[in-house]
Structures are given as structure tokens and as C-alpha cells.
Structure 1
Amino acid sequence: MFLMSRMTGRSFLFLAVWMQSVLNVQLKVSPHIVLIVADDLGWNDVGWHNSQMYTPNLDKLAQNGVILNSSYVLPVCTPTRSSLLTGYYPYHVGLQHNVIHSSRPSHLYMNFTLLPQKLKELNYTTHMVGKWHLGFCNWNYTPTYRGFDSFLGMYLGAEDYYTHSTGNSTVPGYDFRFNKSVYHEVTGEYSANVFARRAVDIINSVDPEKESLFLYVPFQSVHYPLQVPKKYEDIYSHIQNKARRTYCGMVSALDEAVGNITNALTQRGYMDNLLLIFTTDNGGPVNHGANNWPLRGSKNTLWEGGTKGAAFVYSKTLLNKTKYVNTEMFHVVDWFPTLLSVAGGKAEPDLDGIDLWPTIQSGVPSNRSMFVYNIDEIMQNAAIRVGEYKLIEGKPGTHNGWYPVPNNQRKHFNNQSILHDIGELKYQLFNIRDDPTEHFNLAITYPEVLKTLKGYLEDFKKTLVPAFYPKGDPKSNPKYYKGNWSPGWC
């Protein structure tokens, strides 16, 4: 008390400020994590790969962060999302075949602890905005029961961007929720704008100096149906092909939405303690305006064009090395342990994912030397990567060619699919380091390499969990739920 009584007003103020600064250091929160997932974005559909694309916000983040040039995902939506949130390959969680369709009672099994649940154990506040696509037939399978404090978005894989209803005329239904409630307030609004606005609201509701935020934003964009406000399509008025022109406009609308989110993060004071991740969920569908040139194939194939994803990370303070292209091997299963590491936690040792934060943060060599593209016992196909070699078993998919950027009205993909029919080849072997566009099948040239990789593949198959792909259930019909796709039928 004597000391306090002898202090001047200025010195007392100085002491108070100093004590507050010490307190702030002691209470500094773990890094904020914003994970943005684009849907069906092609390799050649972003500005840092294709200068004809107008994506200034994404380009700025990518070019000032770390571009991940060997970041792999699954061929379609649901498998990638299951890997992202569990850290396991889809063939270990039963979601390796196709996607979860609206009437099928499949879901991500409850015995898996998801990334938001692990982050909540580390005192994160967790929010999801966008597309779920991991099952909804029971409330327990939906986002707010799987670790998210809030959810605004869609349960299914595709719907109208404005009406938020499925376009299937035989089973129409509305699919938009705010937490558990059907949410009609956004009917007529373009989904990218709705999702960005909700993300901004969440950003503004959290105090970045007191709470750690995990914000998961899996956009509907740029999945079909091809829809976008005209002003974005007009950016590409020089493109004659209607599907390509609309698709490119959708990419630019997505870019603006990301820009609105990052502006809010900056204004609210997150940037000094933030990691932002951007990735696609699979390659682009060439039959819906997307482009993966010069990679081979399309969405829903095991080719690089279906599985090598456009991705980057950005941080103002957390990365030791920035503004370069990282070519180290990375797989979507690695985000689970990597982000837990960023948050100060540690993943269970039995995950398929590997903590590659040192690789991302400092550019050190990746600990990953192999991965599984997918193993699908229903399709009877599979692919693995071991070092520079890639083995494909069975038919990789239906679009097996190389597809230049379309710029006319012709449906460019059909003829080329026929030209590049692979026939009945059982195995194909490629050196991805020397032949990233998969032109040269080396299966006959290197029989010993083929034998070694076949051995690896057979070992991987021994741990396969049968695909969870039940038949559709008529109880799912929205007519039983006031016209809405709703939980409660399984």
C-alpha cells in the first residue's frame, strides 16, 4: 500500500499496462484455424495455375503463403470429407465407395472422434458453415452432434444454389439448416454469399484474444448445378463454351467469398495468430465445365486429375518459410494430426494421417513416402503411391484422357474419353516424378517394381472395412418431413 501511495499517476498507469501485457502473454490463445474447402475445383481452375482465371483473393493468399503442389485428396466428395475429419483413409471407415446419396442411411461411423471434437478438448470454439455430406439420417450423425458448436448449411451433396432444394423432380426436398432448424430465411440467396456472411458473423462473435477459433467452411461452390450471378459469368464473356463460362464465374464468386472472410479476419484482429488452409475436395469434373489440365482424368477417377488437389496454406506469423511452392508429398488424412499439432495437441498413433506441420511450417522433407489413393472393393479398383511410383489396379474411371480448356460449344470430353479408352488393363504403373501427366505405363518395363507395389497393395487390402453403402430407404422421402430432407428415419 505504501508503494502504491508513493506512485504517480503516470507510473501507476505504466504498471497497469505492463501487468496487462504480461497477463495477455500468459493467456495467449492457441492459433486460430480456418479450413476452407472448395467443392469440385479443378487443378487448372485457380489463378496460380492458370492466369486466365480471375481469383485475386485466393492468389494473394497462395502466393504469400505456401502452395502445396503435391497435396492429394480422394476422387469424390464424401471420402475426402471423411478423411479430413477423421485422419483415416476412407477404406478404413467404410466410406470408400461413391458418395452418401440422399436416401441412403449411410454415415460416418460414431466410433470415430472427429477433428472438431479433438479441438474442443483443447478449448477451441468450433463452427461449421457449408456442405456436410457425411450422413444425416439420424441426428447423431449431424454436425452439432459431431463436435461443432454451430452449423449453417446443407446435409446433402448437391442442390440448387438459390432455392437450396434438390433438383431431382421425383424426390424434391429443401436442404438448409441453422443448427437443427430448417432455415428458409436465405431462400433465393446464392449459397456462396450466405456462407461467407455467416462465416463473417462467427468471426465477429469470437474474441480472438480470449478464444481459439476453429472455423470449417466447406463451400458448395463449385459443384454442379452450374449457377452463378451474371456479374461473375460476365468476367469470362470471351469464353464461348457456356458450361465453362458459368463454371469460371462460380470460381470467381467463390474467390470473392473467401476475400470477404479474410477481410473480416483482418479487421477483427485474427491474422497475427491464424493458420488458413484452402483445398479442393477432389479434382474437377470435366463434364461440368471444370479443367485439370495438364493432369490426366477427372473427378471420380484415380488419375492425378481426380486426386491431386489445388491447395495452399497461409499465415502471417506461423510459417517460417513462405512465398514458395512446396512439392513434398501430403495427403488429406494428414490434416487431422497436423492441425492438432498446430493447436498444441497430439493425435492418436494409429491414424493413417501423419503430422506434417514441420514440412508445412519450415519446408523440411515430408515424413510421408507412400499413401493410398483409394481401395474400392465394389468398383474393384484401387491405387497407391510408393515413392515416385503409382500403381493403379482396375479401371481408374470413365474419363481417362487429357482435356484441354474448352472454349467452344462442343462437349469436348466425350470424344476424348473414347480416344483414351484403357480397355481391360489390370495394372498400370507410372513414375509420377518423371511423368506427372501419366502418359507412360511402365508395368511391362519394370516388372520388379510392379511386383513390389502389388505386394504393398495386397497388404493395404487386409485392413479394409467393407464399404457402408446400403440401399435407399423410402422413409427418407421429404414428404414425411414437411418437404425437407431431415434426420429421423434411421
Structure 2
Amino acid sequence: MFRLCIVALSLLLSSVTQKELAPTTQPKPTAQKPSAARRNAVPPNVVLIMVDDMGWSDIGCYGGEIPTPNIDRLAKGGLRFKQFYNTGRCCPTRASLLTGLYPHQAGIGQMAEDPERPEAFHWGTPGYQGFLNRQSVTLAEVLKSNGYHTYMTGKWHAGMHGEEKLPLQRGFDRYYGIPAGAASYLRPQGGRSVWRDNQKLAPPTDPGYYTTDAFTDEGIKFLQEQKSDAPFFWYLAYNAPHWPLHAKEEDIARFKDTYKIGWEKIRQQRLDRQIKMGLIDPDWGFSERDSRVRPWEKLSQSEKDTVAYRMAVYAAQVYAVDYNVGKVLDYLESNKLMDNTMIIFLADNGACAESYDELGSASFGRINDPDFSGAVSYGIGWANASNTPFFEYKVKPYEGGIATPMIVHSPGLPKNRRGKLTNEIGHLIDFMPTIVEASGATYPTTFHNGQKIQPMQGLSLMNTIEKDAPIEREWLFWEHQTYCAVRKGNFKMVRKMGDAAWQLFDLKNDRTERRDIAALRPDLVKEMNQKWQEWADTHQVFPKKLD
């Protein structure tokens, strides 16, 4: 009876009108109607590439030692953001990226549906139902309605129990990938199997199967099979380098000795490169040391060998992403599509320290076990290095959890700005208005058989990309699990929900979040707290759960 009451209440809440669902303090929607210039332009293809659980400094163009020549090629011809944000975790990021809304507005404030536990993250409230709601539209739905072919390959993680929640029912023409979250790279199976369109596939039998390759190759096949010259949108969502640690032996061999020097030296080398590139202010220094991680010299030789190998496997996973990005670029170039394709590259959250073991989680023997899809990982020490120089990890809204490398390679980017950095502040919610404007599409006010749709929350990045114009935004907000954050200009506050005290950081002078200045600015703390509460009360953050 209790469960029936919860379900009934959930259905009632999900059927409320747009007026009831919409925030009372919405920002002015951007690019609801395209400009005349955009309407008359040739709509670009859009390729949106997202990796999973990769740290801010792992790729070469953000300071990493892992060879990523193809992603670096994107950066050389594109624009790199020094300050771009996700939501800090896989599922809310996907909800926000796909819809242009804050994740709670789209229905995934916590986690998406789990394959083994369908009701685990359906909390009976609009912001926490575990799948995309019908008061939102996806990028695929918007672009398909405006004449685009729409394809997705990779990790969906935005609802899976019921065909209506799958990618083809949310605007994609074709899909190949894993509707669930983490899965085996070598033999995905069971509730974490690969699907093609709406069909679950048997576990692959090819001994050379690897999801990173398959997601790329299947997407290219979709493009090859396209029967018209209409523009396309391809959302390529790699599972890599999310655990489990699964990589090709030949790729691992490239890194077998790289990490034996230890995490302190790798971290210092990355910071030195970041400073040289202009990504990092040298005055910031490193974030506070994680007390759970010993200095490298304190580890035994056996511990050094095993944890260095774990990092080698992780690096091999990133390396495989890069040469697959190379396949995408080669296809576009060989088919003379590069000059009219917008390519975006980012990560869904910061480096992952789960399950919070210093030397990595799950037994060493689980590495490259094709039948294991759990948290065999590289440990806190390497996650800290992956996020150089930032504080904390995935889930928490410190910079190490929510800052992502972000590259835009756009037809409209002037030649004299290619390869440059921008310090403008962007967020996932900006992708919808940016792509709507770039494509000349129209964002709908109603969809799904007349359902009223919530307005876009972000701001178009097109003027920043094309004209180096500032992004006129004052506020950004976060809430996930037990943490909340708010940013106003260069100031950011972070708090664990239930604690009275906020931490306040001046990110212009302290982006590694070493100095809490809340006691020095009580007026600002009061203002930002009030603004966060207003946002939370109007964006489906509360109630969090019906008990």
C-alpha cells in the first residue's frame, strides 16, 4: 500500500503543469529563435564527444603526459576553456547536457535507473525520478525536429526500464551502446549489455572486442549509411576511462614504466606544463594534500609496482579514447566534412577516487577480467594526480569534482583564435542554446504531444567562440547527493548539506580552494546562500525524497 501511494503521488507530481514546474526566477532564455544570419547559414554538423570519469589534467592539451595527439589536434584548431563545469557525476551531467536544464529539472538530480534495482533512485519527487522527464527536450529531439539526422553511441545512463526511456524514444534515429552505467569493456553482458537501437544484444564473442572502439566504429557506420546530405548530430559518449580497469595489452605496454616515478612527480610535471601553457596561475599552487594518501616513498616496492600498473591501465584507456577520436577526425576530413562540423570534447565529471582506497579498489586479479564490471580502480593517489592541481574528486562540487577540460572546434572560430584559451565561465546548460543558435534550430515551447517544455537555463557560447565576447552570466548552481555549491563571478561557495557553515573561495586568486574566506565576507556569504536557496526551491532540488 505504501509503495502504491508513492507511485500515485509520483504520477501526480509528474503531471503538473508547466507553470507549476517552471522555476520562478528563470534566466532569460537564449536563442529561442535563431537570428536571420543563422537561419540563412548552412547548418553545421555537430559531434559531441564526452568521456567518463577523466581528470582535468589527463590529456596532453591540459598538461597530461598521456599521448593524446588527436585530442590535442582538436585543441590546436579549436578553443580551450579554462573554466568549464559539469555537475560532478555521470547521470546528472548527462541529463543536463542533453536537455540544457539543471539536472533536477530534467528528473535526474541523483542517479539514473540501475539495471538491477529499477526503483533504487526513483524517490517519488520530480527532481529525483531516475530518468528524463517529459517537461524537457533533448538535443536530439530539438535537432531532429529541425531537419537533422541524430545518432548516439556509447553510455546513455539517463533511464532504461521501459522502452520510452531509451535513446530512440528521446530523439535519436540510431543508437549503439550501453543504456546502463559502468560496464565491461571486453564483454558487456546482463543488465549492462550493449544495445542496438531498441534491441538488447548478446555478449560479444569477438576476442578483440573493446567498447571504446565499438562505440566509434558503429557511429561512423551510421554516418556512412546516411542517405541524405542533411546535417547530422552525433553524441559519442565513451565509457572510458571509468572503471573497471580494462585495456588492450599493447596499449598498457606503452605505459608500463611511466608511473613508477610516483604520483608526486607526475603531479609536479603536469603542473609545470599547465603553467607553461597558461592554464594555471603559478600562485595557486597545489590543492591541499589528501591525508589518506602516503608519500610515494613510503610505499613498499610491491605496492609501488601494483599501483603503477593500475595507472598504466587507466592511461591506456585514455590513450584508446584518443586514437578513436582520431578515427572520427579522419572520417570527417576524408569526407570533406570538417569545415562544417562543430566538435565538442569534454568529461562528465572530475577524476574518480571510488571506492576511496589509497591503492585502488577490488583485487588486482580483476583487472582485465571481461566478466567483471565493478569498481576495480586506480585509487585515491592517482585520482589526485589526474585532477592536478585541483581539490577533491567526482561527486563533490569542489573544482576537482566539477571542472572539466572543454574544447570547441567550430566552423565559426576565427583563424587567429584557433589554439587559444578562454577564461570565460561555461557550463553544460550552455550546450543547448549554443547548438540551437549554431544550427539555426528553434527550441520548442511545447513537445511530447503538447506538453509544455521548460525554458533553457544556459547561455549561448557562440559570441564567445566567434567574437571573443564575454559570457554575461552572474550565477551558477550545484546540488548533488549531500553537497551544494554556488558561484557568483569569481567567488564560489561549497557546503555539505546539513552543515550550517559555507566555505567561500576566491577562484581568481585561489582556484585550488586552499583558503576559506567566509569569515572575511559575511555579507557575500549571506547573499550567495540566499540565492542558492532561491534556486533550489525553484529548480526541483526539494523535496529530495519522500520517505
Shorter-chain TM band: 0.7 to 0.9
Check whether the contact 2:58–2:64 (CA below 8 A) recurs between aligned residues: no
Distance in 2 of aligned mates of 1:444 and 1:243: 42
Counterpart for residue 117 of structure 1: 141
Quote how far apart the aligned CAs of 1:470 are.
Answer: 8.4
Could you state the TM-score of these two structures normalised by the residue count of structure 1?
Answer: 0.79
Q: Residues 11-50 of structure 1 correspond to what in structure 2 (within 5 A)?
A: 29-50=42-63
Could you state the TM-score of these two structures normalised by the residue count of structure 2?
Answer: 0.71
Q: Which amino acid aligns with 1:69?
A: K
Counterpart for residue 233 of structure 1: 252
Quote how far apart the aligned CAs of 1:361 are.
Answer: 2.4
Q: Does 2:193 match 1:175?
A: yes
Q: Does 2:164 match 1:140?
A: yes
* Counterpart among 405, 411, 429 of residue 333 in structure 1: 429
Deviations 1:393-438 (A, max 9, x none): 2169xxxxxxxxxxxxxxxxxxxxxxxxxxx672100011110100
Distance 1:458 1:260, change over 3 A: same
Which SS does the other structure have where 1:352 is aligned?
Answer: coil
Quote how far apart the aligned CAs of 1:227 are.
Answer: 0.6
Q: Does 2:325 match 1:258?
A: yes
Q: Which amino acid aligns with 2:418?
A: T
Quote how far apart the aligned CAs of 1:51 are.
Answer: 4.2
Distance 1:207 1:71, change over 3 A: farther
Distance in 2 of aligned mates of 1:313 and 1:331: 13
Q: Which amino acid aligns with 1:270?
A: L
Identity of aligned residues (%): 27
Q: Does 2:500 match 1:450?
A: no
Check whether the contact 1:389–1:429 (CA below 8 A) recurs between aligned residues: yes
Q: Which amino acid aligns with 1:84?
A: L
Counterpart for residue 479 of structure 2: 375
Distance 1:162 1:461, change over 3 A: same
Quote how far apart the aligned CAs of 1:112 are.
Answer: 1.3
Counterpart for residue 110 of structure 2: 97
Counterpart for residue 394 of structure 1: 496
Check whether the contact 1:76–1:99 (CA below 8 A) recurs between aligned residues: no
Deviations 1:147-173 (A, max 9, x none): 0001000011111111112xxxxxx54
Q: Residues 309-388 of structure 1 correspond to what in structure 2 (within 5 A)?
A: 309-315=404-410, 317-320=411-414, 321-347=417-443, 350-372=455-477, 374-376=478-480, 379-388=481-490
Q: Does 2:188 match 1:161?
A: no
Deviations 1:208-233 (A, max 9, x none): 8x210101100111110011001111
> Which runs of 5 or more residues in structure 2 are unaligned?
1-38, 120-129, 261-307, 355-376, 446-453
Q: Residues 45-64 of structure 1 correspond to what in structure 2 (within 5 A)?
A: 45-64=58-77
Distance 1:354 1:284, change over 3 A: same
Distance 1:388 1:264, change over 3 A: same
Distance in 2 of aligned mates of 1:460 and 1:470: 18
Quote how far apart the aligned CAs of 1:74 are.
Answer: 0.9
Q: Does 2:147 match 1:150?
A: no
Distance 1:191 1:380, change over 3 A: closer
Q: Does 2:242 match 1:223?
A: yes
Quote how far apart the aligned CAs of 1:185 are.
Answer: 7.1
Which has the higher mean CA deviation after the structures are superposed, 359-368 or 387-396?
387-396
Counterpart for residue 5 of structure 1: none
Check whether the contact 2:142–2:442 (CA below 8 A) recurs between aligned residues: no
Check whether the contact 2:156–2:180 (CA below 8 A) recurs between aligned residues: yes
Check whether the contact 1:391–1:429 (CA below 8 A) recurs between aligned residues: yes
Which SS does the other structure have where 1:299 is aligned?
Answer: coil
Quote how far apart the aligned CAs of 1:56 are.
Answer: 0.7
Which SS does the other structure have where 1:112 is aligned?
Answer: coil
Distance in 1 of aligned mates of 2:493 and 2:469: 26
Which SS does the other structure have where 1:236 is aligned?
Answer: coil
Q: Which amino acid aligns with 2:198?
A: K
Distance in 2 of aligned mates of 1:27 and 1:443: 50
Distance 1:62 1:438, change over 3 A: same
Quote how far apart the aligned CAs of 1:28 are.
Answer: 7.8
Which SS does the other structure have where 1:259 is aligned?
Answer: helix
Which has the higher mean CA deviation after the structures are superposed, 234-243 or 124-133?
234-243
Q: CA RMSD in A?
A: 2.3
Q: Residues 457-476 of structure 1 correspond to what in structure 2 (within 5 A)?
A: 457-465=532-540
Quote how far apart the aligned CAs of 1:466 are.
Answer: 5.1
Q: Which amino acid aligns with 1:369?
A: E
Distance in 1 of aligned mates of 2:488 and 2:141: 32
Check whether the contact 1:395–1:426 (CA below 8 A) recurs between aligned residues: no
Check whether the contact 1:337–1:346 (CA below 8 A) recurs between aligned residues: no
* Counterpart among 260, 263, 274 of residue 341 in structure 2: 274
Which has the higher mean CA deviation after the structures are superposed, 58-67 or 146-155?
58-67
Q: Residues 405-416 of structure 1 correspond to what in structure 2 (within 5 A)?
A: none
Distance 1:467 1:158, change over 3 A: farther
Distance 1:230 1:395, change over 3 A: farther
